[in-house]
Structure 1
Amino acid sequence: MNLSLVLRHILAAPGAVSRATIASRMGTTRATVSRLVDELCNTGLVCDCSPSGDASRGRPGIPLAPQFGRVVSLGVEINISYLSACAVELTGEILAQETVRGDFAGSDPAVAMAQLVDLARRVMTAAMKSAKAANPVFVGSGLALPGLVSLETLALAPNLGWRDLSLDELLEPLSDLNPVLVANEADLAAFAVANPRPGAPDGPASFVYVSGEVGIGAGIIIDHHPLAGAHGWSGEIGHICVDPSGPICSCGATGCLEAYLGLRALARSAGLPAGSTPEEIVSAARDGSSEARSAIATGGAALGRALSAIVNTVDIPEIILGGNVAVLADELIPPARDELHARVLQSPWAEPELRISEVRADLAVIGAAHKVLQRLVDDPIAWTNGIP
């Protein structure tokens, strides 16, 4: 625990903390902290930096930082319209990444995984070359999927058309890339927002992150920790019913948020062709299309109703819109905010903040890579024993 705590202090303020600083913050002796830091330095996880500060005011402390490129993790993702891979090292720098576009709706899991493995190997080859000087150690990979993921199975990924897949069988093609976790893509994107650098939870503390591609998902973070639920299936906001008499959703139910705000549903309601982008939908609305304006307004109101249910249940102070939802956000936010104001009981005293995230398609793979590295941060002794 103490080794982990020291490493967290260094990751939170790289190059800005010394042994004495950490000892003061931990309330322990400098000798104890020095011994722990030496252990981290001996395995190459941490290094001393050049002293800084005014030497005339006493001997400056030697600042500490994570060693660039010493440990590398990999995040990979299968989504309905792309495959993605991203390799990250302990300072948080992305060593290599690549995205391949395609249509994976109704795909054969084995074929899609084979394509993902080819992509992942290319990215890892480039990453290890980038980190070569540090004698890098690969600590594992994490897979992001758009569906319900338990410890043993992918129960359902409706937009991929995948159901009841054993994770052992699904991950077998990735075995040489040491897959150590599989999680929902929105949950991993939310983890990346809360933890923008490995081991450094200096993003917002408690929020709902709403992401959208063809489907709509969400990750819920409380005090920097994911609210996973009993089976790890929380955050399926796209399948909250916003109108029981509404259209049929891909999951088979009626009136789900996704049936209004999912990209294909939204394009259809806007009178635009299948495959239209969120930018094209916004452009049509701004160019005067009454169908597009109505579709976005209806989708925004549906979003507000679904979010109201979450806020009333979990008492979340902040809602962050990402992915395709962020592209549509300027038009979605007014009707969504109206619904939140009308339906959230706490609104007169503490109305939840609704804001737009930076539009990034790689948050899920970054979150997966960061979460793999978090395993090292949480239990560094298990890793320092095995790192040459």
Structure 2
Amino acid sequence: SVKIEKLKEATHTAGIHKKPKPKFDSNKPTIVILHAGGTIASRVDYRTGAVTPLFTADDMLEMFPEIAGYANIRTHIAFQMFSEDMEPEHWQILARKVAEEVGEGCNGIIITHGTDTMHYTSAALALMLQNLPIPVLLVGAQRSSDRGSSDAAMNLICAANFIANSDFAGVAICMHSSPNDDFCNILPACKTRKIHTSRRDAFQAINDRPIAKVNFATGKIEFMKEYAKKNASKIVKLEDRFDKKIAIVKLFPGFRAEYLAAYDNCHGIILEGTGLGHAATNVLDDFTQHHSELLKKLEQMSKKGIFIAMTSQCIFGRVNLDVYSTGRDLQKAGISPAYMLSEAAYVKLGWVLGHTRDPHDIRKMMNTDYAGEIIERIEPADFVDERFKE
């Protein structure tokens, strides 16, 4: 008879040939890869067809040895998860680990991170890590690292090149600038959104332009705007306090005052209004009688001590509550305009409330630009470009 022996299940490192780590080179900068999970650290589980988070930071270094050509690499695992599962506490963990690595001495940090909420994390880190002397780049991938079409290798290599060969300091995102393997964009931490579910160039600067472009083929770095520069004399200031009792509430046709009851215990709310930052507050006929109740409810919540700020559902542009009477009525009810993207405003409000509950101080801090989050003048070139017209 034929004896059949069942093979052991392959581990997540199967197929990765372990090589000795490169020796330390004193002529190269040192980059820390801080691993937080996401698609960039995932592979397809061919038993189920699903993408699962399996690779470690060391595994990725084995897969993409080109990174070590730019710098001495240290790797650490912060946690391993898809970014949709992250909580504000995970932002705090990352901020503390970054501050720790900066203190121990390195020339830059790459955080491998899931793409779904990467722009929330980048905004949080930009606010929590004041006075950064080095670059901290969040790098993700839209396609898992074991796929031939993965963007992981290029994004990581461009990030390592940028850290090693530029004088930029601060938090930014490094992702594909087009569907092709030609350039990566270095994107502002607080003015970037994921605007496509699956394209490799899903991340775009909003109301701003990329900080720089990195040519994958030549390695050339082209800066596109002014930026903070590396400064060894700077000492990073960790400001990681955060109040989780906040929410984003999207307004829509038919929105009623009673829907806000679910947020009565919040300390702060970001309203996503229509257009310039509007809400349905005008009573015009029988169908709109309930609009007056919404304005009353917002005023009641504001007087109760819940700080409420207004952003816009529009992708581009900024709120202006002074143009129409609707906006003026909202301001009288205690609503403050937030001149930021909704995601950045949400993160900033939690960060501000972690520092103060005084209404005057909250309003002052929300209107102070700490990390490039405030939308000032928007240049025509910062609006829709040719890629949106494909």
Higher helix share: 1
TM-score class, shorter-chain normalisation, is under 0.3
TM-score, normalised to structure 2, is 0.25
TM-score w.r.t. structure 1 length? Answer: 0.25
Structure showing greater relative contact order (alpha-carbon pairs closer than 8 Å, 6 or more residues apart): 1
